[in-house]
Structures are given as structure tokens and as C-alpha cells.
Chains A and B, each alone.
Chain A
Amino acid sequence: MAEAIMQQTLSGWGGMNSEVCDMFRPEKRRALSELIQCKHSDSLIARGLGRSYGDTAVNGGSAVVDTTRLDRMLGFDPDEGLLECEAGVSLADIIDVFLPRGYFVPVTPGTKFVTVGGAIANDVHGKNHHVDGTFCEFVESFTLLIPSGEVLTCSRDENEDVFWATAGGVGLTGIILTARIRLMAVESAYITADYTQCTHLDSALEAMAATDENYQYSVAWVDCLAKGKNLGRSVLMQGNHTPAAELSGTHAAAPFAVKGGLPKMVPFNCPSFVLNPLSIQAFNTVFYAAHGTCTGKIVDYDQYFYPLDAVNHWNRLYGKSGFAQFQATLPFESKAGLVTILERLAKSRRASFLAVLKTFGEQNPGLLSHPMKGYTLTLDVPNRPGLTLFLHELDKILLDHGGRLYLAKDAVATPETIAAMYPRLDEFRAIQKRLDPKGVLSSSMARRLGLVG
């Protein structure tokens, strides 16, 4: 039976630039090989839970394959902590099943509603990048369906070039079918967190440099509206998994139990005036004041890693016109670039709340994988007139200081910018072309940025 098609207007999580796509949502693995041989459309791209902010998993006028029904777990080796599962399995699902058995996802972005396939294709990172690296560091191998219908097993020993082209390759090398992931053993569902107030960017960066090595997780919340002597004032939030022995009371009796509440919901797009510089400044001031320096606070993993997941469709807070997310990564020696960007943001009053700053560890061999050693600053920018020009201005500052954007977040960059930021793009294109000579795999992002040859 032919796969059912649904015509749907799709955008990334930022809600900008919606396009009509032909969506498929196969429930059997075999259907993917039929789809990739492209009897339905010019091209296709796989899509998981749609948390990329821009047009990574959008394919205007062509096919998008929703993989969320191909979410079966295939095997688990408790000695190695090795999980084999299909690409549509979400990190939330993995946590639900394995946290009670003493395992956590080894790397997680700020939402658990991403699929394993998406985590590989964007080579996602988390608050532990400075010690553990990206998600793909924990992927032993995956199987990749390529347009010829062939299934490649990719690992560091087998099809290694395809492995590192697919890690961060935004879905353009094929459809990931299954992956083997090393989970991380933990003793509880809790994080012991230390909060440090930093009055200025410099003190935040100094504190990170001095103390990050003591923590598996580290991130600073930054007030991007603060200027002058308050520029980059932040709350540094560092933490480690809580050992079972350090829990007390009810937590000690059930170290993996976390009281779950029903998620709250933003039911419809808010009017865009809800988030304005005044309301955001008020939020930032309260947030800064509320997080005085404190140590040893025990919080559950949901509160620590996923504060925004507690509100379904929080992206609707930005209203119908949506928002862009800007993530800038700069080498350590380019602190001046970071300062220039923060100054520009403060002056523009475009920045939103929840800007975060962290340090990245070593870069991996992923051809389009984002993280590189240095600082990374991430924030939402509401879509108001002039947004594209403003972001291009930031992109230029970033380029001038040897920095780079993150494809999973980007919605407006130009091909030239991305090519300059990712010097191995040509290598990627060559491998992509070899796997997909007929150009079956494409996306709105791939066309916008010329990622495929």
C-alpha cells in the first residue's frame, strides 16, 4: 500500500518562513526504502520532532519524512550501557525507560523532545560539552539508508567518512535507520548544582575558566540587555549528577523517582507584544536577583536540563511571526568578538531572555559538526522588522573573529557565510554527492545555503 501523504505547512521550531511540504509518516521500516527511491517527489528530507529552529527539516514543495513512528528500541546491553534503537526514538523516551534502571542520556540539548536521528544529524551538544563532547561521541555506530536503497553501517571503523559526514550533516547523507548509543550510568535522577552570580562578562568567563573542570555540566545564563559595567552579567550554573549517598529522605529511598507534573501549555500564538524589551528586562532583573550565589542545591533532571519542556509549545510565546535563534561560537582568543556581539545585542534591545553562554571543549571530526573549542553564546531573537539584516550584521562580526554559526539554529545566513565558517564543506559536498548522485536528498536549508553540490 502506498504511503499516505499529508500536505502540511511546516516551519522549524522558530516558526519563521513556513512552507508547504508533502509529509509522510511511515509506520514500517521498509516504507523508508520505497520513499527514498523517490516515487513521490523531487527530493526528500527526514524530520524528527521538529526542534531545529530554522529550515533544516523543512523541504518546501517536496517531501518530508516524519520518522517519529519508527521509534522502536531493539536491544540493550546493561554491562556496556549500550542501547540499539531506531532513529525516531526520542531522548525523552530513553530517559523514561532507562533512568529507572540507572542510565541517563550521555549528551542532551536543552530539550528532551529530540529524536536520536535528529541528535546525530545535528550532532547536538549539551552543558557537558567541555568534558564529554557532542552526542556523536557516544554513538558507536548507526545504519544509514542511502538513495540507492542500500543500507550502510557507519562507525569509526566502517564507512568512517560517511559517519563523520552524517554527524552534523543535517540529514543530507541519507535517512538514519538505527543507532547504537552508549548511555551514561548515573546513581540518581538528580543534579547537585552550584549557582554563582557574576556581575560582568569578565567575571563569568574567569569563573568558567577556573572552575568548569570540576563540573560535568556548566552553563551561564546571560542578561543580554545589560550594558556598560553590567555587560554580560550572568548566573553561572554548574552541576554534577548527585551520587545516591548524598540524597536524603524520600529521595534516598527512590533515587530515580521524580515527581512529574502535567506539562503546561501555550495553547495559541501570543500577541507579539507579550515579549517586549521591558517585559524581558523585568524578567532578566528578577532572574538575576533570584539566583544569588548558592551551592549544593539538589534539583531533579527535568528542572535542571529541561526547564522549557515544562511548557508545551513555548515557542508560541513569540507570536505568529516567530523568532530566530542565534548561536555564535568563537575561539577562546576571540573574546573581543564576544564583547562586540554582546554590546551590539544590548544596544539593539532585540535580545530575548534565556541567553546562555558556555565553553566548548575539543572539536570532533564531524565535517559540519558545530562545536569547536571556545565560547558559545545562544539566544532567541524575536522576528521583528529588520531581523535578517541585524543577524547578518552579527554573522559578519562572528566571521571577522573566526567564529561560526550552528546549522540547527540558523534560518537566515547566506551560503558565503556558512562556507567561510565551515572550511570542510567541500569535503562534505563530495561525500554527499557520492552517496546521492541524483540529488534525492535536499531541504530548504540545503538549497538556501548551497550545502549540496
Chain B
Amino acid sequence: MNNEFNYSVVILGSTSGIVRATAHAYAEAGYALVLAARDDEENKILAADIRVRYGVTCHALHFDGADAASHPKFVTDCEAALGTNPTGLILGFGYMAEQEKAQRDVTEVQAMVDVNLTGAISILERFAAVFEERGSGFMGVLSSVAGERGKQSNYIYGATKAGLTCYLEGLRVRLFKANVTVTTIQPGFVDTKMTYGLPLPGPLVATPEQAGRAIFKAVSKGQDEAYVLFFWRYIMLIIKAIPRWQFKKMSM
């Protein structure tokens, strides 16, 4: 495979459908990979798949987003596995509790905050320090359109993603000076476990492969933000433009 520049990427949360496809897009481009997830059994299967299909180096490392104390060691583990610090990283882990359950049970709220905010910020700060010092790198982070506007159906999850999007905005400004790009990805609907069985209009739903390629492309270009299907930008512009007095009457 073509990897003359020894590019490498750490993929956090590799067991989700979108992230798996993103990892494949990097492998196809010849990157060496570290796949990181909590579920070791699945993660090893995914890493083997990438090695067989693309003939690239692919390590499976244990990673728990919610366990911030383990994050500094994870960064050194990645360096040890790759023999160098990675060129960049993709962060795709997240936790979405059922909205109604989260309304009743604060431990579910805490779990989402621990993973989507505290965990994400913790690991991004560790790698930000490495990339900033080196003066290069890329970060592609999966946030959510749910963080753009609080909807009745998932506003607690949305609040954690809004926080993440806001955090990324600031991180981008800081790392810009160090030649490190930060791409906020809002995938929209992708045909994975999360949307399976939902009555969604087909044309709004991307395949995981489309999502993976779109994410690879947007992050490689160093885009500030990215949607998987281009029209989501316009859908979100419209949704964001709905005045609050009207929005509260809508059953979204």
C-alpha cells in the first residue's frame, strides 16, 4: 500500500458503524491505524478485517472514553504501537441514553456527560498537547446535529453534543496557530444500528461507506465542519433559522 509518508491515525470508538467505515477509508488510503474501543473482542475482529483487506498495519487497543484517568497511558500506548505519535485522530465514541430514561435518572445524564464531554475533552486535550508541540496533526470529531438545536426527543444527549461542538470551536482556534486542524463532523442520518428501523426518508440516509469516505475527505482537507450528505448543511440552516416561538410549537 501507498504509505510513503508513514501517515497514521488513531480511531477512537471503532466499533460504531460510521467509525468502522471511516477507518476503512483511512486504511484504503494507506494509513497505519490504531483502533481503540471498549469492546476488545469486536475491536480485534475489526482490526483483523482491516489488515486482511488493505494490507496495512492495524492495532487494536483497549480504550474507555469514560475512564479519563487511563487516557495519558493510552497516548503512550499508541506511540508504542505505531513507533511514533499518530499523524492525526478520529474521535467517534459517544453515548446516547434514551431521552425519557435520562429525564428520570440522573445517572444516565452523568453517563452521557462522562463520555460525550468529559471523556472526549480529556483524550482530545492529551493529543492536542502532542500535536501542538509537534506543530502538525488533524482531529476529526463526531458531534451531532442534535447539538445544534434542542429537540424534545433528545435534548439531554443534544446538550452534551452542543457542549462538545462549542469545545471544538475553541480548540480549533487554539490549534490553528500550531498547524493542527480540527473538523467537527455532524453525520446526520447514517444507515447503522442507531437508525435501523426508524421511519426515515431514504434519500436523507447515507450508507456507512458514504459517511466514511466523506469524513476522510473533509478531515483530509482540514475543513472546520462537515456533514456527510451536502444538503444537511441547508437542512440545518433552516432548522437553526426557525424562531423559538415557532420551534416550541413543533413536535420534533
A residues within 8 Å of B by Cβ? Answer: 3-7, 23, 25-30, 69, 72-76, 83, 85-86, 97
Contact = CB atoms under 8 A, between A and B. Distances in A.
B53 A27 contact: no
A28 B42 contact: yes
Contacts of A3: 193
A97 B193 contact: no
B48 A27 contact: no
Contacts, number: 45
A72 B192 contact: no
Contacts of A26: 193
Given A73-B53, A97-B52, A97-B53, A27 B193 contact: yes
B53 to A, nearest CB: 5
B100 interface: no
Contact of A69 (B17, B48, B53): B17
Closest 6 CB pairs of A and B: A6-B197, A72-B49, A73-B52, A4-B196, A4-B197, A74-B48
A366 to B, nearest CB: 28
21 contacts: A4-B197, A5-B197, A6-B196, A23-B197, A25-B196, A27-B15, A28-B15, A28-B39, A28-B42, A29-B45, A30-B42, A69-B17, A72-B46, A72-B48, A73-B48, A73-B49, A73-B53, A74-B48, A74-B52, A75-B52, A86-B45
Interface string B176-197: 0000000000000000110011
Say what secondary structure dominates the interface of chain B: helix
Contacts of B52: 73-76, 83, 85, 97
A27 B39 contact: no
A117 B52 CA distance: 19
Contacts of B41: 29-30
Given A4-B196, A6-B196, A27 B45 contact: no
A85 B196 CA distance: 24
A27 B17 contact: yes
A294 to B, nearest CB: 38
Nearest to B17: A27
Contacts of B196: 4, 6, 25
Given A28-B15, A28-B39, A74 B193 contact: no
Nearest to B194: A4
Among B15, B39, B45, B192, residue most surrounded by chain A Cβ atoms (within 10 Å): B45
A76 B48 CA distance: 10
Contacts of A23: 197
Nearest to B44: A74
Contacts of B45: 29, 72, 74, 86
